[in-house]
Amino acid sequence: MPDGLLRFQALRALSRDGWILFGTRFLRLFGYGLISVVLVLYLADLNLSDTEIGALVSLTLVGDTIVSLWITTRADRWGRRKMLVVGSMLMVMGGVVFALSDSFVVLLIAATVAVISPSGGEVGPFLSIEQASLSHLIPAERRTDVFAWYNLTGSVGTALGALAGGLSVDAARQWGLANAVSYRPALLTYAVIGGLLGLAF
């Protein structure tokens, strides 16, 4: 049997919970890709200075690191599912606040506390908790292949999300939305994705 087919068959080892984790991985990275192509352009259209935009983007990364450390170190004590739901709600908060506020101070607080990915890469508490959970759901001999598919799923999600982000802005402008307003549907969609993740977890 071809090696590639053998690796694909490794996915047969996934339980229902394993497939849910694959789904949440795709959905989350789709959301990250979605806003990665619009976030800085949106902030620029809010008439924020380059320094303010740089501070916001930097604080999203710093804040995500701190939040991730706090949540993941408590996940086994308080429950992995609960911590994943908390992370999802932080995604919702980030998307809503960034979409509805043009105050630098408010955005600064949201950038520090909420889960926002300015680069399209994995941020927040999700990855380490999901990987720990997934490793308990599959046989040891299948883990390498299953994790390869898990990572590929995320990459495809990011790429499709970035494409959707660009298309959403184009569609919004064809509907008559202009400037910063044309980016807000993507940010609100990001918030909706956070809500869907919370339901899935």
pLDDT tens readout for residues 52-105 = 999 888 888 888 788 778 887 887 788 888 888 988 999 999 999 999 998 999
Query: What type of residue sits at position 112?
Result: T
Fold of 17-200: Growth Hormone; Chain: A; (1.20.1250)
More confident residue, 71 or 3: 71
Query: Would you call 105 exposed, middle or buried from its count of C-beta atoms within 10 A (0-12, 13-18, 19+)?
Result: exposed
Instruction: Give CA–CA dist 33/96, Å, rounded.
Output: 17
User: Does position 2 have pLDDT exceeding 60, yes or no?
Assistant: no
What are the helix (H) ranges across the chain? 3-9, 16-36, 39-45, 50-72, 75-78, 80-100, 104-113, 126-135, 143-174, 184-200
Identify which of 112, 117, 97 has the alpha carbon closest to the alpha carbon of residue 34: 117
For residues 140-159, average pLDDT: 88
For residues 109-120, average pLDDT: 83
More confident residue, 194 or 138: 194
